[in-house]
Structure 1
Amino acid sequence: MRIPPSLFKYLLGQHILNGYAVALGVLLVGLGVGALQGFDAALAAASGALCVSVGDTPSPLSSKLRILPICWCSAVAASLLTALADGSLALEAAAVTTIGFVAGLQIAWGRWAIPLSILTQLAMVFTLGAPGGKLEFCQSIALGGALYIPIALTLTRLLDASGRRVMLAELIREFATLLRRMADFYRPGADEGAACLKVVEQQASFSDQLQAARSLSVYAANPESGARLIAALAVLLEAFDGMISTMADHAPLRLASAQADIAGRVETLLRQVADDLDALSLDLLIVGRAPTFPDHATALESLAEEIADLDSADPRVLRAARMTRARLAWALNHLARIPAVVAEISEAEKALAGLDLTKFAPPLRVSLAPIRAELRWASPVFRHALRLSAALACGYALIAVAPELRHGNWILLTIAVIMRASYSATTQRRDQRLFGSVVGCGIAGALLWLNSKPLLLFAQLSAVGIAHSFGRVDYRVTSVAASVMALLGLHLLDPGESAPVVSRLIDTVIGAGVAFLFNFMLPNYERHGARALANAFLDRLASYADKVLRWDVAAQDYRLARKALIESFSSLGESSKLARDNPGVGKFWPRYSKLIAQAYFTAAQIVTIRLLIRNRIDELDARDSAALLDDTRAAVLAQLRPSCAQPPPTCAQVSDESDAAAALRLRCAEAAVEAGRLRRLAAELGAA
């Protein structure tokens, strides 16, 4: 039975493998300490392991060797500061506020540090709520965290090869989803702008998986296995270029408006290819099965026959049809290479010829410089740190003045996991947290009613794995599992006391309310950073064009420029997802959405030039083409960089692209025109 694509990310993926490796690590720490010091000591040590495990996300062993000790130091420091303040409301309040501020600043280190920020606050909350002596609990936190690190590193080493295959399979599924989003362009009456936004947002997910896959493959313990998988990434990105190129000339919109059913055929083909990629990803996950990708030559031939019969008065429709078919053939040819490069090192070496892989996944570096750079009033990170510390201080004040909030540390935990650096992200987390707490408390209540200790222990361990697995996939699932994990943990720690299921719900509502209110303190609306993101994208696109619009560019330089552009697109995609929910978007959102769509079409036009040269290089005169590319590069950069003022050339219509030189001239002119449109939209966004 075929698994629906929407369920793939829940049932199969690196996050599942990572989540249950974390659960196993926490279990081993608990069992080891419990065998020597008893059940209570085991639970306390497991809390320390759990804190450090929050930072144990899918990454290569070389990165974890640096990340996990930092996580341990941060957790122990937060726990120790909280323990030393025990007994004084004023000192505890100061500790909570300080830890919140430091945790907020930690995200200056980048995406990898978001779990670090959360675990810092988690260690504080655990210590505040610990029964008995706080310093003894801090020692348990330190012991459990220290024991977890070598276990986690060992499991990472053991799962190295399988983890990379799972990550590659997940990346291929993300690409399949991208193809389904692109297929939406070809529906009659499709809203081009809305469809483009969905593509860009999906590309953000693809980019995240791509970077994780690069890191795991480049720093693989087995170089040969890593080379095969990074080669698969290289081939997949060539197919990605081909698919982006199909957007040039607004080709999908032209085909969808044509009388012939070419658009319908393209849509069907894209969805079929997406299904085949899902099957390929499943092949990679099944041990012993050889990965395969079917031949689509028949579909391409059928498409070519319909294009040959196309009778259109508009030469742009014919040109769009021919280009689309050629680019689809390019993409499919590269997708068909994936099974070979995964299976054979010789094929992998061909795909990686001339590349320095370490440039694509630089080693992790941690210093105080990024944090010092954010210590300014205008910094969104600095404002987030102030907002987070104030919210935690308010939550602690509520606990201090209301003795009936007996388990009030749950309020602080809710604030810690909800508060994010942006307004919309915090709002989304609030809703997901409320949903998860209600469902999780219901599940925990049912399990406690059954009162089976083996069942409770199994559920507790499963909740640890699920909570860790789905943090970035679906926070609602994580919130449900975390609620179950916390309530069952409290019951196992003190079975004689009834579990505070109802009070946890109340505390969650209070914590979510505090987070919501403080979200308006020095708010960081995504639209405020849109201009900076747009300018950064223009700069990345200019750098990309500077590499592409040359007759002879090194593969390494091109791929590094493409990597930077994809990451910049990812930032635009994430921003668009959040910015539309900002209050008072007014005239901003229509302009921002138009800019994002135009950015995609401009990039597609530039990619098309590269593919045209690669496919038809034998038909082009090297000297004339190099001169044309030099002029085009100057014209495009003039539009993308405000310091330049050269106007774009006029597009001459070419009805027949059988002449490669004429086709190149047309593509070059259109690239400059699209770049000019993008510049105007960026200026309009700034005015808004």
Structure 2
Amino acid sequence: MHYALDPRTFFYSHYFHLGLRFGVGLVGVIALAMWLTDIHIAMSIGIGALCTALMDMPSPLRHKFNEMMASVLLCTAVTLLISLCGPYYWLLMPMLVAVSFFASMMVVYGKKSMPLQLATLFIMTMSTEHTLTPVQSFAHAGLFMFGGLSYLAYAMGISYVLRHRIKQQVLAEALFELAAYIDIKADFYDTRYNLTEQFNKLVRHQALLADRQQASRDLILRAHNNRKDAVVVQIHVCMLDLYEQVLATHTDYAALRTHLLDSPALRTLHDLAYKAARDIESVAYAVTRKRASYPEVDYTPELKALDQQIAGLQDDLDAGKPRREAVTVLRAQRNKITAIIRMIGELHVSSQKVYEDTPFWRDMDMQPFLSQQKYELQLMVSHFRMDSPVFRFALRVSMAIAAGLAIGAILPYKAHSYWIVLTIVIILKPSFSMTKQRRSDRIVGTIIGCIITAVVLKFTPSPAAILAVLVLATIATPTFIYLRYRYAAIAVSVMILLWMYLVAPSSNLISERLVDTFVGAAIATAFSFVLANWEYQSLPHLVKLVLTVNLSYMEASFDLLQGKYRNDFIYRIQRKRLMETLAALSAALVRMLDEPESKQRAAEDINLFIVQNYLLVAHVAALRAILRRHVRDIPSEAVNAMLEASHATVCRTLSVALSRHTGATPPAAPLRREAVAEPDVAWSGWPLVQRRIRLLQADADKIIVHSEAIVRNVANGD
């Protein structure tokens, strides 16, 4: 279950606070307007506030202002343009199609532009409901802008006052997802779970975790100027260090299960990981409640039991039982988990201290860690080509809306074209899988919303009761839109239907909208196959990007391991880039599996390709942990020689895989260098480093196999 759906955390999450801010602001603007004017003017102002509120998301203050102001200006221009064209049907229809096309092209700027696209299409649709004179059109646009600016001022004021609180909430979400990630890893020690399925689950959650960590970076690292900010920065940095320690716990789970099936050690490891996840959750709970966090989890019983189990296995080994590999791996896991427990302790401490400044890579440029959002016209223009998924999506939306308008005009019953178009706008998304999910949620949500509205109007028809339900629905809509869209669809149906009832009561209100929803859903479904962009078409590009970024990551990793950098700044940047590209490929795979079976390509090889790249990151993290743990008496020259040889081999391997996708001449086959001889000095880390390097090279070799299979299967599928 999502952490924000848990009653213990729901009211502290930024999702609920977003809904509360949205509801209070929107209802407040409309209520004030109704007090000063009449209901029709208040509705015009309220629509402007609603379109602006759609852009009210957790963002740095400067970004939030730019995004919301863009919504005010763009939506005002659209409502004025459509209102002026309203009396001229021959002009209105082409203008609606043109606005739909250009609004849909805005998705080229990324997921943050999706609410702006929705707001633009929403106000375009609502502006067709009434025919206005030119004077009325300008007056309506002025009221719309006033409502948008009113909500903008309100939202910016609240966000400024609560700017530190929002950082805490977003950081807490990243911590909760890290705890969920560890829960998945804990089940690797449980023989009831299939290892392959667990790897798949882990990689899927990796994409979500990367997204939450990036949201935390964007808010926390852009502005951290006071003592309160210093605390969340330090927690954030400790969280990322802890994440790397968790990555380093990857091991040969199959060997552990084979050799320790009859030992309680696996259960003990599972219990330790489970406790670690709950410990991290306790930090997240404290952060959401603006409190310092103190350790409450006791790991002592499990650690003592694990030490006894290791001692018993060592006795078996001394007696001649062949469990050397299992004992070595188990002892290494014990050390890694101890390091994680120690790092969680530092996470608790970081929430307790009051820092004078932000102890985070002083004098370093944080821009590489932050999302770069550029709204340049040239970027949109560059996608005006038929092979662009965004261009095809824009054409698909404009054609679907044109069809919706035409069908709405000829249907025998009293159809509402604007409601049909609004349904199309909400359902039709850039990918087939998103459209499929939205269609289901929209239909189910509308049916339930209509039933709830009918019950409210039947049994509690008083204005006070209707307003109370309306306020709750208004708060619930943004609260659940990123958590459970189906709940949001229910709430938005109730909200819009009740608003319409208050403005223009009608006995057929609910049944008419329900039929319009089914018509719009049918049109959106039909056009989801028109100029469709199937996910397999983007796979070669995404795979090539992963390999390119992985090469850069390996360069930075081995330079760091060999001590060529003073700090791990560059390494962290490259690791972030690799995790993001893996998350993008994983998301594409998940979407592809929701598409028709005839449009699926190389699903198993893509999944294994993602897993192998993920394992390379885990091996590097493990090497860092080993070198830190065994730093005493380390033979630097010999270790660096081994790392250099491994680096050359792995990079050549990745280059061969990349050449399959670029068509370039592959480099010479990787030369298997002789293992670097161990020096005379005794060093405890030798067997661990050598074993981890062997695993690193073996998993790199598998990347070539899966990469070639992806190229072959996608090409054959075409």
Q: For 2:472, which of 450, 459, 462 is the aligned residue?
A: 462
1:610 aligns with 2:620: no
Counterpart CA distance in 1 for 2:161 and 2:371 is: 23
| Bigger mean CA offset, 333-342 vs 378-387 | 333-342
* Cα pair 2:592 2:600 within 8 Å, conserved: no
- Distance in 2 between the 1:11 and 1:645 partners? 59
Pairwise mapping of residues 366-385 of structure 1 onto structure 2 (< 5 A)?
A: 366-385=375-394
Deviation at 1:379, TM superposition (A): 1.1
Hey, what does 2:578 align to over in structure 1?
565
Cα drift, residue 132 of structure 1:
6.0
Q: Deviations over 1:131-153 (max 9, x none)?
A: 76671433322221122111111
Choose which of 489, 502, 505 in structure 2 pairs with 1:479. Answer: 489
Letter aligned with residue 296 of structure 1 = Y
- Deviation of 1:113 after TM superposition, in Å, equals 0.7
Contact kept in structure 2, 1:186 and 1:253, CA below 8 Å = no
Mapping 1:387-402, distance limit 5 Å: 387-402=396-411
Q: Which amino acid aligns with 2:144?
A: I
User: Does the alignment pair 1:365 with 2:374?
Assistant: yes
Q: Judge conservation of contact 2:214–2:371 (CA < 8 Å) in 1.
A: no
Deviation at 1:288, TM superposition (A): 4.9
Instruction: Map 1:623-662 to 2 at 5 A.
Output: 623-642=637-656, 643-647=666-670, 649=672, 659-662=684-687
User: Residues 185-204 of structure 1: matches in 2 within 5 Å?
Assistant: 185-188=188-191, 190-204=193-207
Q: What is the CA deviation profile of residues 467-526 of structure 1, one whole-angstrom value per residue up to 9, with x for unaligned ones?
A: 11222211111111110111011012124x336111221111111111111111121222
CA distance in structure 1 between the aligned counterparts of 2:356 and 2:307, rounded to whole angstroms: 30
Match of 2:255 in 1: 254
Displacement of 1:11 = 5.2
**How does 1:223-622 map onto structure 2 within 5 Å?**
223-248=226-251, 251-257=252-258, 258-259=260-261, 260-288=263-291, 290-292=293-295, 294-310=297-313, 311=316, 313-346=322-355, 349-350=358-359, 352=361, 355-361=364-370, 364-402=373-411, 404-449=413-458, 450-495=460-505, 497-498=506-507, 500-550=509-559, 551-552=562-563, 553=565, 554-583=567-596, 584=598, 588-622=602-636
Q: C-alpha distance in 1, partners of 2:464/2:674? A: 73
Q: Could you say which residue in structure 1 is the equivalent of 2:691?
A: 666
Question: What aligned pairs does 1:27-176 form with structure 2 within 5 A after superposition?
Answer: 27-130=27-130, 135=137, 136-176=139-179
Q: Partner residue of 1:212?
A: 215
Aligned letter for 2:608?
K
Retained in 2: the 8 A contact 1:180–1:274?
yes
1:279 Cα offset (Å): 2.8
What are the Cα deviations for residues 216-251 of structure 1, in whole angstroms up to 9, with x where unaligned? 212347533223212212111111112222224xx2
Q: Which one-letter code corresponds to 1:472 in the other structure?
A: Y
Indicate conservation of the 8 Å contact 1:356/1:556, yes or no: no
CA distance in 2, matches of 1:318, 1:5: 41
- Identity among equivalent positions (%) equals 24
Larger Rg: 2
RMSD: 2.7
| Paired letter, 1:597 | V
CA distance in 2, matches of 1:574, 1:562: 18
Alpha-carbon separation, structure 2, partners of 1:505 and 1:9:
35
Q: Give per-residue Cα distances to partners, 1:230-281, cap 9 Å, x unaligned.
A: 2212111111112222224xx2232223332322222222222222333332
TM-score (norm 1): 0.93
For 2:185, the equivalent position in structure 1 comes to: 182
> How far is the alpha carbon of 1:349 from its aligned partner?
4.7
Contact 2:283–2:347 under 8 Å retained in 1: no
- Cα distance between partner residues in 2 of 1:653 and 1:499: 82
Return the letter of the residue paired with 2:253.
P
The alignment partner of 2:127 has SS state of helix
Bigger Cα displacement from structure 2, 227-236 vs 54-63 = 227-236
Return 5+ residue gaps in structure 1 as ranges.
none
Tell me which amino acid in the other structure corresponds to 2:169: V
Aligned to 1:677: 702
Q: Taking structure 1 as reference, are residues 648 and 230 closer, same or farther at Cα in structure 2, changes over 3 Å only?
A: farther
> After superposition, what is the alpha-carbon deviation per residue over 1:436-464, rounded to whole angstroms, capped at 9, x for unaligned?
11111111111222112122222222222
> Does structure 2 conserve the Cα–Cα contact (< 8 Å) formed by 1:636 and 1:648?
no
Instruction: Write the letter of the residue equivalent to 1:264.
Output: R
Q: What is the alpha-carbon distance in structure 2 between the residues aligned to residue 254 and residue 662 of structure 1?
A: 17
Distance 1:649 1:320, change over 3 A: farther
Answer yes or no: is the 8 Å Cα contact 1:48–1:145 preserved in 2. Answer: yes
Do the aligned residues in 2 keep the contact of 1:157 with 1:221 (CA within 8 Å)?
no
Residues paired across the two proteins, number: 682
Distance 1:131 1:275 in 2: 59
CA distance in 1, matches of 2:142, 2:428: 28
Deviation at 1:350, TM superposition (A): 4.9
Of the structure 1 ranges 326-335 and 13-22, higher mean CA displacement relative to structure 2 is found in 326-335
Give SS of 2:384's match. Answer: coil
- Measure how far apart 1:292 and its partner are: 4.1
Distance in 1 (CA, whole Å) between partners of 2:192 and 2:358 is 45
- Going from structure 1 to structure 2, the CA distance change for 1:220 and 1:34 (only over 3 Å counts) comes to farther
Partner SS, residue 337 of structure 1: helix
Tell me how far apart the structure 2 counterparts of residues 348 and 232 of structure 1 sit (CA, whole Å): 14
Give CA-to-partner distance per residue, 1:531-561, whole Å, 9 cap, x none. 2222212222222211111212332112111
On the 8 A contact 2:100/2:121 being kept in 1, the answer is yes
Alpha-carbon distance in structure 2 between the residues aligned to 1:361 and 1:394: 41
Residue type at the aligned position of 2:389: P
Kindly indicate whether the alpha-carbon contact (under 8 Å) linking 1:468 and 1:478 is maintained by their aligned counterparts in 2: yes
Q: Distance in 2 between matches of 1:650 and 1:300?
A: 40
> Shift of the alpha carbon at 1:400?
1.9
CA pair 28-131 structure 1, distance change in 2 beyond 3 A: farther
1:430 Cα deviation from its structure 2 partner: 0.8
Q: Give the Å deviation of 1:87.
A: 2.4
Rounded Cα–Cα distance in structure 2 between residues aligned with 1:107 and 1:478: 22
The 1:75–1:304 alpha-carbon spacing in structure 2 relative to 1, beyond 3 Å, is farther
User: Which amino acid in the other structure matches residue 604 of structure 1?
Assistant: A
Determine the C-alpha separation between the residues in 1 that align with 2:130 and 2:632: 73
Matched letter for residue 402 of structure 1? L
One-letter code aligned to 2:494: V
Structure 2 distance, partners of 1:223, 1:395, is 53
Mapped partners of 1:294, 1:619: distance in 2 = 35
The answer to whether the Cα contact below 8 Å between 2:29 and 2:49 also exists between their aligned partners in 1 is: yes
Query: Which string of whole-angstrom CA distances, capped at 9 and with x for unpartnered residues, describes residues 99-142 of structure 1?
Result: 22112110111121111111111111121224766714333222
Deviates more, 1:645-654 or 1:474-483: 645-654
With the length of structure 2 as denominator, give the TM-score of the two structures: 0.89
Q: Work out the CA distance in 2 between the residues paired with 1:578 and 1:9.
A: 29
